[in-house]
Amino acid sequence: MKAFYDLHLHSCLSPCGDMDMTPNNLVNMAKLLGLDVIALTDHNSSRNCAAAMAVGREIGLLVIPGMELTTSEDIHAVCLFPTLEQALLWNDYVDDHRIKIRNRPDIYGRQVIMNEHDEETGEIEHLLLPATDIGIGSAYRKVKDFGGICYPAHIDRDSLSILSVLGEIDPACGFRTAELADISRLDALRAQHPILDTLHIVTSSDAHYLENMREAENFLELGSLSAENVLAALD
């Protein structure tokens, strides 16, 4: 089957994420856009995944729990997990390995945790944007230890990407997938970086606002729709 996806989305928990990106709003918008599966990947946190997954079960849309990790080099990487429990264990690990700087809501916005009814249940005090002490070279293996997968995000961007920071994707990192923000740049990037010929390529919206979410265009070929099968297709 063709499973139309967006595997890089932010909720109102993410710094600079719009407060309209509530679990209900973003999951229902994904349904309206014709998507079959999404992943919630807030910055350095998985604390809104439970709510989004509950909404997804209610309306019949698969929500994969995840995170956008900021590595010690200020590189962004998408982390996806088959279960909420695994994602939350990874969340706790990252919490112990990130720089703790108090958030400035007047600058970065609030970092709000919600339940499946879009009721506020908490707010993260420390800013989620700063780097962790987890290096890009070990990120894939560390996430695998928690049962998930990990791959570099928006590699075609001029900042916060593995190519902008390091200039290459070292095979020793172990990545099986790479994400592009603009899939039309793939051929040019492959000419410069032959390793991309060996990787699965995905493209997702990285949306922080409802209007930036994408319609159903990109898909994975799956035997059946499940978080396990999505992760297997990328690893």
**How far, CA to CA in Å, does 38 sit from each of 7, 33, 114, 123?**
5, 11, 18, 23
CA distance 175 to 234: 10
| pLDDT band, residue 1 (cuts 50/70/90) | very high
For 16, left (φ over 0), alpha (ψ -120 to 50), or beta? Answer: left
**How far, CA to CA in Å, does 192 sit from each of 141, 164, 169?**
26, 13, 11
Report all structural domains of the chain as residue ranges with CATH numbers, in order of start: 2-234 (3.20.20.140)
Q: Please give the average per-residue pLDDT across 191-220, as a whole number.
A: 97
Q: What is the pLDDT of residues 213-230, one digit of tens each?
A: 999 999 999 999 999 999
Query: What three-state secondary structure class fits 194?
Result: helix
C-beta separation of 87 from 100 below 8 A: no
pLDDT at 134 over 90: yes
CA distance 225 to 235: 16
pLDDT of residue 183: 96
pTM above 0.95, yes or no: yes
CA distance 208 to 235: 26
Give percent of the chain above pLDDT 90.
Answer: 99
